[in-house]
Chain A
Amino acid sequence: MRFSFTEDQRLLAETVREVLDKACPPETVRAAGEPEQESVRPGPAWRALAEVGLLGAHIPEEHGGLGMTALDTVLAYEETGWYAVPGPLVETAVAAPLLVPAEHLAGIAAGTVTVSVRPACTPYLPDADVADLLVAGSAVVPRAGVTLTPHASVDATRKLFTVDLDAGPGGEEAFDRAALATAAQLVGLGRRLREEAVGYAGQRRQFGKVIGSFQALKHQLADVAIALEFAAPLVYRAAYSLTHGAPTAGRDVSAAKTAASRAAHRAARTALQVHGAIGYTDELDLQLWLNRVWALRPAWGDDGLHRARLRAALLDGPYEPRSVRLP
């Protein structure tokens, strides 16, 4: 029993953090919401993630990737959440390697092929306008020649589209892996929002005092800290279960996704409340992380879907108390 990460796993996350700190400032995220995004294509953050190997992390070595596990990258995906990296990252680098023909894998790892994926539970393809390939269930088609219908979405930097494509169900493993990476991003987003809120509470003054000294705000922020602190281990556990093909993997992913969603939402609500009216503006960068939380919460299975999977695992099937069964 050793619930901790290896040096290499921590190093990958640190490296991702370092490159995104330069390549993915809020201006870059904001630019992804501009209407001309299609001509911009995946930008500097995407190239940086290709260079450090994250785009090819889940692609076998013979196709130019690193052949890593979910456990190897889960901390790195948290960082991509912290920076609200634009583009279909989870779809391209986590789901697509399990769904597209091998000929595309080298391109994905190199950052030259982007993929948007539509799981069965949603009608929407995220960031399809910047994708080279579209995956909907069992169908994999080049974007060129497909008519995309845009839908105004809560997050301008993660555009949603529908297409006229009928196909059978997609891969279950790809779904679980993408849901896990999304959960990790939500934890990272939640931590970013906590950081922004604590920073603002520590400098904004009212009644002659910094507002962070008021207990009413302290306790709200403490609750955010608690929610994030206890969501993260569920996310790491799910990464472990997926990596080792544990029979509980689906359940563990759903536990991770619902807990991460709740924690990130609490962080978002609190960060907005702490900022007050300025937080409710488009001008302040805070909105980038707020809207990303609200976009990712229903992505790769909304809370209802994951709750149903938890109910099925814990209430409807046979359940052995935990101390009886080893993890």
Chain B
Amino acid sequence: MDLTFTPHQQEFRAEVRDWLAANAPAEPLPSMDTAEGFERHREWEHRLAEARLAVVSWPEEYGGRGADLIDWLIFEEEYWASGAPGRVSQNGIFLLAPTLMAYGTDEQKRRHLPRMARADDVWAQAWSEPESGSDLASLRATARPDGDGVGWRLNGQKTWSSRAVHADWCFGLFRTDPESERHRGLTYFMLPLETEGVTVRPIAQLDGEHGFAEIFFDDVYVPGDGVLGELGQGWKVAMATTSSERGLTLRSPGRFMATADRLLELARESDDQTLRDAAVEAWTDSEAYRLHTFRAAARLAEGIELGADSSLMKVFWSELDLRMHELALELLGPQAPVAGRWLDGFLFALAGPIYAGTNEIQRNIIAERVLGLPR
């Protein structure tokens, strides 16, 4: 076991820290769920990309540095500690990109990844449907072969699509085999949201912002190269990367370490012993998440797949994040309702146990795949 960083890693950390100190906006940007805030966040992504800091773990040809997982974790620690803006491109760079790198054709990778890295294209996801939330495999949106013999016609409705109001492209699952049921007969599609027949209807969130949207598909044409991976293998394609790095990259420890460190600052000012102890416990949990991630990185380096571990991690970080924000609001007391960043963070943290597979679904996965209990 070696918990020190190499000179190279320390240099990289210093570079990231110095660059962020010099370049990160001094004031928080407007919400990325407003038109103005979205474009400001996109500009910020351009600056990150110019410093080749947007996607450090990607290959150089797509805008990255070919950095390993440890470097990426270092980047994340520095990024969140600096208070830099949230990542408007995150659905693309963390959810789609690993799948694209694993299953995309060379042409698809060349076309999409560099633009994604620069946030020239911001991607929204199109998974859930009004009748298919946790039970995603019941989805009904369809894709049928077009008369031209190469393209597809998409029909149906997707919902809870984060950032879709202002995003450029979307990716998601559609049923290509009308006779199929459940996980079979689904195909992974990518298409521009500007395509004729696509209607995006904003949904106001708990905070009043249009953070997510419904997407209606009315006979939308998608060319053949809009299919990612094999026809009918969409479920496998979408899930395949969960046991690899994506299990780690959905939420890195840096974000929660930064929150826990800020929580300690509040607790240091408090004489409420219950809240002080709770803050210390939350800090300990953020440390546990960091160490667990380093351990998972070591396992991946040894060639061991994470498997359902990503479900353990998702429950842990989402509940930790929410608990830390609840605690912060308690520590702030009468100031809580006007506590800007903490309040925004609390509202965002509330969604954590819901998105990316609810924590109830994750607990089922843990019980069945980690503990081996019967379905």
Contact = CB atoms under 8 A, between A and B. Distances in A.
B297 interface: yes
B372 A198 contact: yes
B360 A219 contact: yes
A221 interface: yes
B315 to A, nearest CB: 6
Nearest to A255: B284
Interface stretch (A42-50, A104-112, A180-188, A308-316): A308-316
B302 interface: yes
B8 to A, nearest CB: 11
Interface of A: 1-6, 71, 194, 198, 201-202, 210, 212-213, 215, 217-219, 221-223, 225-226, 229-231, 233-234, 236-237, 240, 255, 258-259, 307, 310-311, 314-315, 319, 321-324, 326-327
B77 interface: yes
Which has the most chain A C-beta neighbours within 10 Å: B4, B9, B70, B288? B288
A174 B221 CA distance: 71
Contacts of B288: 230-231, 233-234, 255, 259
A2 B298 contact: yes
Contacts of A237: 3, 287, 291
A1 B295 CA distance: 10
B77 to A, nearest CB: 4
Interface residues of B, number: 59
A221 B370 CA distance: 10
Interface in B13-36: 13, 17
Nearest to A5: B1
17 contacts: A3-B291, A3-B294, A3-B297, A4-B295, A213-B375, A219-B363, A221-B373, A222-B363, A222-B366, A225-B366, A226-B315, A229-B292, A230-B285, A230-B316, A255-B287, A259-B288, A315-B268
Contacts of A240: 1, 3
B284 A258 contact: yes
Contacts of B81: 321, 323-324
A218 B258 CA distance: 32
A322 B360 contact: no
Interface stretch (B144-152, B159-167, B190-198, B275-283): B275-283
B5 to A, nearest CB: 6
Nearest to B277: A307
A84 to B, nearest CB: 21
Given A315-B276, A326-B4, A1 B367 contact: no
Interface of B: 1-6, 9-10, 13, 17, 70, 77-78, 81, 254, 257-258, 261, 264, 267-268, 276-277, 279-281, 283-285, 287-292, 294-295, 297-299, 301-302, 309, 312, 315-316, 360, 362-364, 366-368, 370-375
* Most A Cβ at <10 Å: residue of B294, B363, B367: B367
B267 A218 contact: no
Given A240-B1, A307-B280, A310-B280, 4 more contacts: A201-B373, A218-B363, A226-B366, A237-B291
Given A4-B299, A222-B367, A327 B257 contact: no
3 closest A-B pairs by beta carbon, nearest first, are A218-B367, A233-B291, A3-B294
Contact of A230 (B257, B292, B298, B371): B292
Nearest to A324: B81
Nearest to A239: B1
Contacts of B78: 323
A173 B291 CA distance: 23
A78 to B, nearest CB: 15
A233 B293 CA distance: 9
A280 B4 CA distance: 47
A255 to B, nearest CB: 5
A198 B5 CA distance: 39
B177 to A, nearest CB: 30
B23 to A, nearest CB: 17
A5 B3 CA distance: 12
Contacts of A2: 1-2, 298, 301
Contact of A322 (B261, B315, B373): B261
Contact of B10 (A229, A310, A326): A326
A15 B375 CA distance: 35
A230 B70 CA distance: 19
Nearest to A258: B284
Quick one: which of A71, A222, A231, A237 has the most chain B CB within 10 A? A222
B81 to A, nearest CB: 4
Nearest to A215: B364
B363 A314 contact: no
B277 A221 contact: no
Contacts of B3: 1, 3, 237, 240, 327
A198 B364 CA distance: 14
Contact of B374 (A6, A202, A219): A202
A305 to B, nearest CB: 13
A198 B258 CA distance: 36
Contact of A1 (B9, B264, B362): B9
Contact of A71 (B1, B4, B281, B285): B1
B1 A315 contact: no
A240 B298 CA distance: 16
Contacts of B287: 234, 237, 255, 322
A223 B81 CA distance: 29
Given A223-B363, A226-B312, A314 B283 contact: yes
Contacts of B284: 234, 255, 258-259, 310
A3 B371 contact: no
Contact of A218 (B1, B315, B364): B364
A4 B1 contact: yes
Contacts of B373: 198, 201-202, 212-213, 217-218, 221
B280 A315 contact: yes
B298 A3 contact: yes
B66 to A, nearest CB: 18
Nearest to A308: B277
Contacts of A3: 1, 3, 291, 294-295, 297-298
